[in-house]
């Protein structure tokens, strides 16, 4: 795993933990929903689960596979609902539905060098 991908996953995990209210419930100074100053803003790369996708940006699973394997995808976000969001190198954001959970990671594993620095996120 590349440092860039590892750092992204660590930051994502920490952010999700903070937003879920993790912490000592007996500590009166602890807040359940801390205010975070974050460079991640809705609709930008790295904030994968917020932006609604327009119907024209929905592609078939086969099209998504081809885009991934061709190296055109910079970042992938997978939701429990099997929805996968692809962030392309040209700035487009596309959505698809994978046939089974983690199938997108199997495709990325087959991709090899074109996907070596791809950023991955999962819900």
Q: How would residue 53 be classed by pLDDT, with cut points 50, 70 and 90?
A: low
Contact 94, 85 (CB under 8 A): yes
For the residues 104-109, what does the mean pLDDT come to? Answer: 96
pTM: 0.58
Please name the fold of domain 3-122: 3.30.720
Distance CA 118, CA 72 (A): 10
Q: Residue 34: is its pLDDT beyond 50?
A: no
The pLDDT value given to residue 42: 40
Of 61, 40, 60, 63, give the one whose Cα is nearest residue 50: 40
Q: How would residue 31 be classed by pLDDT, with cut points 50, 70 and 90?
A: very low
Q: Residue 26: is its pLDDT beyond 80?
A: no
DSSP H or E run through 63: helix 61-69
The pLDDT value given to residue 37: 41
* Mean pLDDT across the chain: 75
């Amino acid at each position: 795993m590349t440092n860039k991908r590892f750092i992204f996953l660590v930051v994502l995990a920490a952010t999700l933990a903070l937003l879920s209210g993790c912490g000592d419930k007996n500590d009166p100074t602890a807040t359940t929903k801390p205010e975070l100053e974050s460079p991640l803003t809705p609709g930008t790369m790295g904030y994968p689960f917020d932006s609604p996708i327009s119907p024209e940006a929905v592609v078939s699973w086969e099209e998504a596979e081809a885009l991934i394997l061709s190296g055109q995808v910079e970042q992938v976000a997978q939701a429990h609902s099997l929805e996968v969001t692809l962030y392309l190198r040209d700035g487009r954001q596309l959505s698809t539905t994978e046939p089974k959970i983690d199938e997108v990671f199997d495709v990325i594993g087959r991709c090899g060098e074109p996907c070596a620095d791809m950023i991955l996120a999962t819900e």
